[in-house]
Structure 1
Amino acid sequence: MRKALFSLLLIIATSCGVTDRQAGQTVAEAREAYPPEGRFLEIDGHRVHYVEKGSGPALVLIHGASGNLRDWTFDAVDRLSGRYRVIAFDRPGMGYTPRIDRDGASIYEQAALLSDAADQLGATRPIVLGHSYGGAVALAWATRHPSDLSALVLVSAASQTWDTDLPFFYRLTSGPLAAIANPAISAFAGEERVQDAIAGVFAPQPVPAGYADHIGAELALRPATLRENALQRASLKAEIARMVPQYPQLDLPVEMLHGDADTTVGLQIHSVPTARQIPNANLVVLPGIGHAAQHAAAAEMGAAIDRAAARAGLR
């Protein structure tokens, strides 16, 4: 499989002008089909894209890897805005928030940027909710900036180290061949592969009607976004390893949700040990639910947010 891929890349390299033009067209089409949904603010000259809706206690939503804030605007923002001031951010390098630097933004850099962005919006000490990779960013926010949030909600969150190596796809899209591979993937990724990837995230639950059309997967297939996403994923395990020893010092309400059918971020590897390490953590296991618990268990997520708000004295 890998030899075949390298052969394909060599062929593409000989016609890279065509590939670059096709990739550029794909990027332009993605921007036209999925324009920014929200507004922009600037933190020390760095633009941050966000959507804001509702009133009440501030609630910040942080999306996972290969995603953008459209994961939240599919239905969560509308659903939660009746009782919270909901703010969903595009993480650096994803959606319409530019990357921080060329090396891939660490979870700590992302947390600092989003914390400053929330503060600029007047969302002081919000409830911070992170899904999957976004859960690691939320934990970085809590461990590095504990006075800047009131409570933490972790949904299918990456929070511990794991045994497996970085998947080949991320090594390819972050490594020396990225300059060839990423435009090729952007230009020629088929609709079927995109749909299969979305279905894999939701499994064993079906993809909600309209989700694939709303999420804007094409935004994640832009060459620069492919590289940034891969660089972030490549450094995640080491960053989490440095963060885990700080969990026992967390002194705020922490609500955790995790499906026991999640094969992307395993419950027993991540949330079970994390819940033991954080003194104020409350873990709710969702029977039969996969990785997309923010959609498949929307009511349970809303209840977890309400518990966090009540425990923080915001309700």
Structure 2
Amino acid sequence: MLGAALTVAALAGCGAVIDRRADLREAAAEARYPPTGELIEVNGRIVHAHVEGSGPDLVLLHGASGNTRDFTFSFVDRLADDYRVIVFDRPGLGWTERASDRYGPWTPRAESPAEQAALLQAAADRLGVKTPLVLGHSYGGAVALAWGLSRPDDTAGLIVVSGASNPWPGGLGPMYRIIGSSWGGALIAPLISAWSPYDRLNAALEEIFAPDPVPPGYARHIGAGLTLRRESFRANARQVNTLRPHVVEMSERYPTLPMPVEIVHGTADDVVPIDIHSEPLARQIPGANLTRLKGVGHMPHHAAPDAVEDAIHRAAARARLR
């Protein structure tokens, strides 16, 4: 009995140490990377929106492990002369809260693309956004498609960049499976938040950008420490871990999308392969236009920004916004 009590006390002590270190690292990340835009309360949840420019409304949705800073690094500056650009942190990431309190540490469920789109649409409504163009990158592509499916008459056009749009064969990496589980999210996520070395984040960025280089200054700008916060780390892993059944269901409705759709994808993307996602998507949506970027990886808005900007302008022209 005494041995069991000592074991429990030791584990509790270790947990306290881990939580204290995670608290300190999270506080440091939040102090270094504060919100750059407006914090909007929507149905009791906080949504972070970075707004710049003037013109037709253009919503930007980032990918997994990301936040608004992925777009504010350089891409928003290219667009703000022609559009009012609204960049959202997706639920659980950056400075946007989870969509519901039911997504706790021990809950493996996560916000669907449709649920994420609904929360961000409500925030967009609060900002007076009217019939926007919606661009989604990577996981954000699934959310952009969900946005269009839920508001087909109030979405001017979609731009899907390296988007996760269709079911893929096989499973995900072990980290997604572990953190996506009940016990992994509750017990392992705090360990990673507390102790993961920041130089590993640089290696992760190199893998995401490959074969293209990470732009100078990007690692300092992106605020990867925000993604390592316990709640964000859990949210990201569980959203990715539960995505596949949602795109299975959504893909059956892609042919009903009535708005102009521009798709941009690098042929060297090993994160979200073009042959599994964008090539089928181009066939599923009547009138969709697919731009293949030869030799470009997963981050075309950094590696080939002219091509992505051109796709936005084409969507705007097709929607008669320009």
TM-score (norm 2): 0.92
Q: Do the aligned partners of 2:99 and 2:119 also contact (CA within 8 Å) in 1?
A: no
Shift of 1:178: 2.2
Shift of 1:143: 1.1
| Mean Cα deviation higher: 166-175 or 45-54 | 166-175
What is the distance in 2 between the residues matched to 1:163 and 1:112? 28
Does 1:116 find its partner at 2:115?
Answer: no
TM-score (norm 1): 0.94
- Count residues in correspondence: 305
What is the distance in 2 between the residues matched to 1:44 and 1:188? 35
Does 1:64 find its partner at 2:88?
Answer: no
What is the distance in 2 between the residues matched to 1:160 and 1:177? 27
What is the distance in 2 between the residues matched to 1:201 and 1:166? 15
1:126 match: 132
Pairing partner for 1:169 from 172, 175, 181: 175
Does 1:20 find its partner at 2:19?
Answer: yes
What is the distance in 2 between the residues matched to 1:87 and 1:240? 25
2:96 match: 97
Q: Do the aligned partners of 1:12 and 1:180 also contact (CA within 8 Å) in 2?
A: no
Shift of 1:148: 2.3
> Which amino acid is the alignment partner of residue 274 of structure 2?
L
Q: Do the aligned partners of 1:38 and 1:50 also contact (CA within 8 Å) in 2?
A: yes
> Which amino acid is the alignment partner of residue 57 of structure 1?
P
Shift of 1:170: 1.2
> Which amino acid is the alignment partner of residue 229 of structure 2?
R
Deviations 1:79-103 (A, max 9, x none): 1101110000000100000001203
| Mean Cα deviation higher: 182-191 or 58-67 | 182-191
Shift of 1:13: 7.5
What is the distance in 2 between the residues matched to 1:100 and 1:112? 9
> Which amino acid is the alignment partner of residue 118 of structure 1?
A
Report the CA distance shift for 1:165/1:13 in structure 2 as closer, same or farther (over 3 A): farther
What is the distance in 2 between the residues matched to 1:14 and 1:24? 15
What is the distance in 2 between the residues matched to 1:216 and 1:232? 20
Question: Can you give the 5+ residue segments of structure 1 that lack an aligned partner in the other structure?
Answer: 1-10
Deviations 1:56-81 (A, max 9, x none): 11100000001101101101111110
2:6 match: none
Shift of 1:14: 6.5
Secondary structure of 1:68's counterpart equals coil
Question: Can you give the 5+ residue segments of structure 2 that lack an aligned partner in the other structure?
Answer: 1-9, 104-108
What is the distance in 2 between the residues matched to 1:72 and 1:13? 41
Does 1:229 find its partner at 2:236?
Answer: yes
Q: 5 Å matches for 1:1-315?
A: 15-101=14-100, 102=103, 103-175=109-181, 176-315=183-322
CA RMSD of aligned residues (A): 1.3
| Mean Cα deviation higher: 283-292 or 111-120 | 111-120
Report the CA distance shift for 1:12/1:68 in structure 2 as closer, same or farther (over 3 A): farther
Q: Do the aligned partners of 1:12 and 1:184 also contact (CA within 8 Å) in 2?
A: no
